[in-house]
């Protein structure tokens, strides 16, 4: 059997693991575990880009893969680790708007909605990798849920970044010949976002002593 | 293939499961200690335990009814019935192959644990009733996972007969790497851990009655009935391992002809495959800690999500 016969299957497998890591980000209890799941998800995205770029060969997708490898699994975690105080990662139970089973069921429902939407879109046009579009849509909605149910600054940022990952996963299947300038722009944009939020989180932590969003609803006087 | 050979092979499968189940338990116990740099008990220890308990006198509680007397037989016979439905050594169907599918296998195993649960309450020991209610909690959370896994399997293989499903992953090899298959493996592995009462769901080597789930149900039994319960639970673990390895995880290496050589090779290969799975289980068991009771719902919820994802993947692929 020729090697490229395995490409769709392995790509589908990467997509399956991608959506699983999105589910994981909804329920894991530690900030550090949430960050490692984001790293895994980004690595899966890069692997999918390399795989789709190898057959038929596409420079654009290889460029996307390289940019992703450098920015998401390496640069962003480094920025977040470096700037956000260590104590934030030591939080063992992230406060959540919903308890874990309820959040999980909601995530499942959203994923099903995403799958049915994505499947319609994927079959409207013959695509090389329709799974990417379907999984991208599902993970996009699950990422939005991460943003909604988590009440801690860093996991919320990771939720935004997970949504961005999901949009990218769908994007490389819909438009493999994306202009390189757009890819580079996003590659600079996203670490910048992480940088700004990390600096903000650091400042908030210094002031308030916590980054749990629920505790930041009250106004308080400045005490030097 | 004559009827005599088929019957002989069926009996051989039963003998494989019944005879080697204590050995598998012994190997797992030994490795669990070895991995922590302890020497551990001999791998033959479960056989010695069985001999000892069969020779001992036994008593039932005064309040015990026929349920307590019947439960050990149900626990012991239900894995043996399932053995008739699944490919243990051969990849061609034997007697009983089409008598029931994987759902039936799940239900037959369920009969055993149903009677064990009743017997735990029957004896009147307070710990038994507590363990019984906890087992039911784990059980009813594990049930939907099993059913969704079977849905996914039937989407992929168009059947839930174990012999047919086993052929599905053999050819072509791309099927083996399909996302549905890999996710089914994940979910089933998590289910085995929950069903056989291992960490992180239950600690089988714990001695603290308040924290027990599985062990507390057999506190009231002694002698031969207790031996039957021990043997039955070892066989249940073995049967689940056989379903996992031969039907889902590594469908290779089964005898495809009824010749003596092929069957002997199959015995060896299946033994090795189960040993590898046990090593994997031991590694998982020593690297995680026990979950709080109400976190088990989250663990099985995660297994459920994996199973549903597998089903979505199977539907998308078709």
Q: What is the pLDDT of residues B231-260, one digit of tens each?
A: 999 999 999 999 888 888 878 778 778 788
Query: A3-31 pLDDT, tens per residue?
Result: 566 777 788 888 888 888 998 888 888 88
pLDDT confidence tier of residue B30, bands split at 50, 70 and 90 = very high
**Option in B298, B301, B309 nearest A16 (CB):** B309
Query: A53-92 pLDDT, tens per residue?
Result: 887 777 778 888 888 888 888 888 888 888 887 777 777 6
Query: Could you give the number of structural domains in chain B?
Result: 1
Judged by DSSP in three states, A96 sits in strand
Chain B nearest CA to A119, separation (Å): 8
Secondary structure tally for chain B: helices H, strands E: 10, 0
Q: Which residues of A touch B297 (CB under 8 A)?
A: 101
CB A173 within 8 A of CB A132: yes
CB contact under 8 A, B177 and A6: yes
CA distance B234 to B23: 9
Supply the pLDDT for residue B89: 86
Q: Which of B83, B76, B74 lies closest to B111, judged by CA?
A: B74
**Option in B172, B173, B183 nearest A16 (CB):** B183
Chains A and B form CB pairs within 8 A to the count of: 65
Judged by DSSP in three states, A212 sits in strand
pTM of the entire structure? 0.83
Q: Which of A122-126, B105-109, B119-123, B294-298 has the lowest mean pLDDT?
A: A122-126
Supply the pLDDT for residue B75: 92
The answer to whether residue B230 scores a pLDDT higher than 80 is yes
Judged by DSSP in three states, A151 sits in coil
- Measuring CA to CA, how many Å separate A46 from each of A39, A53, A73, A170, B192? 11, 10, 9, 13, 33
Supply the pLDDT for residue A4: 64
The answer to whether residue A2 scores a pLDDT higher than 60 is no
Query: B35-84 pLDDT, tens per residue?
Result: 888 888 899 999 999 999 999 988 888 888 898 899 999 999 999 999 98
Please confirm whether the linkage preceding B200 is cis (ω < 30° from 0). yes
Query: A193-206 pLDDT, tens per residue?
Result: 887 888 788 777 77
Supply the pLDDT for residue A81: 83
B48's CB contacts (< 8 A; 6+ apart) are: B42
Chain B nearest CA to A65, separation (Å): 22
CB contact under 8 A, A13 and B178: yes
The answer to whether residue B141 scores a pLDDT higher than 50 is yes
Task: For chain B, list residues whose CB is within 8 angstroms of any CB belonging to chain A.
Answer: 172-174, 177-180, 182-183, 297-298, 301-302, 304-306, 308-310, 312-313, 316-317
Supply the pLDDT for residue B77: 93
pLDDT confidence tier of residue A218, bands split at 50, 70 and 90 = low
CB B42 within 8 A of CB B26: yes
Q: Domain range for residue B309? A: 3-317
Supply the pLDDT for residue A1: 47
Q: How many Cα atoms occupy the beta-carbon half-sphere of A205 within 13 Å?
A: 18
CB B40 within 8 A of CB B34: yes
Q: Which residues of A touch B303 (CB under 8 A)?
A: none
The answer to whether residue A219 scores a pLDDT higher than 70 is no
Chain A nearest CA to B12, separation (Å): 37
Of residues A160 and A130, more confidently modeled: A160
């Amino acid at each position: 059997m020729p090697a490229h016969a395995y490409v769709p299957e392995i790509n589908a497998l990467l997509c399956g693991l991608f959506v699983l890591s999105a589910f994981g980000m909804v329920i894991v209890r530690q900030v550090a575990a949430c960050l490692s799941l984001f790293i895994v998800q980004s690595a899966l995205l890069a692997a999918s880009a390399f795989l789709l770029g190898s057959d038929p060969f596409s420079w654009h997708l290889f460029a996307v893969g390289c940019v992703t490898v450098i920015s998401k699994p390496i640069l962003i975690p480094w920025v977040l680790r470096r700037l956000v105080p260590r104590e934030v990662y030591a939080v063992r139970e992230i406060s959540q708007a919903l308890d874990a089973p309820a959040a999980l069921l909601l995530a499942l429902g959203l994923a099903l909605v995403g799958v049915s939407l994505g499947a319609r879109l994927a079959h409207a046009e013959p695509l090389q990798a329709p799974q990417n579009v379907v999984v991208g849509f599902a993970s996009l909605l699950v990422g939005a849920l991460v943003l909604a149910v988590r009440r801690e600054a860093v996991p919320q940022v990771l939720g935004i970044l997970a949504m961005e990952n999901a949009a990218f996963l769908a994007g490389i299947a819909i438009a493999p010949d994306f202009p390189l300038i757009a890819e580079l722009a996003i590659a600079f944009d996203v670490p910048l976002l992480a940088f700004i939020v990390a600096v903000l989180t650091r400042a908030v932590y210094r002031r308030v002593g916590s980054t749990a969003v629920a505790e930041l609803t009250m106004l308080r006087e400045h005490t030097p | 293939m004559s009827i005599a050979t088929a019957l002989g092979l069926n009996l051989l499968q039963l003998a494989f499961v019944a005879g080697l189940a204590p050995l598998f338990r012994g190997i797992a116990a030994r490795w669990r200690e070895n991995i922590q740099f302890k020497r551990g008990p001999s791998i033959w220890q479960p056989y010695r335990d069985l001999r000892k308990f069969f020779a001992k006198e036994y008593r039932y509680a005064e309040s015990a009814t026929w349920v307590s007397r019947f439960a050990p037989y149900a626990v012991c016979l239900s894995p043996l019935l399932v053995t008739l439905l699944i490919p243990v050594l051969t990849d061609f169907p034997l007697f009983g192959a089409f008598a029931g599918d994987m759902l039936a296998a799940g239900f037959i195993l369920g009969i055993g644990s149903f009677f064990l649960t009743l017997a735990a309450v029957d004896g009147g020991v307070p710990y038994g009733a507590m363990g019984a209610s906890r087992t039911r909690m784990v059980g009813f959370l594990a049930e939907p996972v099993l059913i969704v896994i079977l849905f996914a399997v039937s989407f992929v293989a168009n059947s839930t007969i174990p012999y047919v499903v086993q052929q599905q992953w053999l050819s072509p090899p791309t099927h083996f790497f399909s996302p549905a298959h890999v996710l089914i493996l994940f979910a089933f592995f998590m289910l085995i851990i929950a069903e056989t009462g291992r960490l992180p769901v239950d600690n089988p080597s714990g001695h603290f009655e308040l924290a027990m789930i599985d062990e507390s149900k057999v506190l009231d039994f002694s002698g031969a009935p207790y031996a039957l319960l021990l043997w039955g639970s070892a066989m249940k673990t073995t049967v689940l391992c056989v379903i996992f390895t031969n039907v889902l995880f590594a469908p290779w290496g089964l005898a495809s002809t009824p010749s003596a050589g092929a069957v002997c090779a199959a015995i060896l290969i299946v033994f090795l495959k189960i040993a590898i799975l046990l090593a994997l289980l031991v590694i998982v068991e020593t690297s995680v800690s026990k979950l709080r009771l109400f976190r088990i719902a989250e663990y099985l919820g995660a297994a459920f999500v994996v199973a549903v994802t597998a089903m979505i993947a199977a539907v998308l692929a078709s």
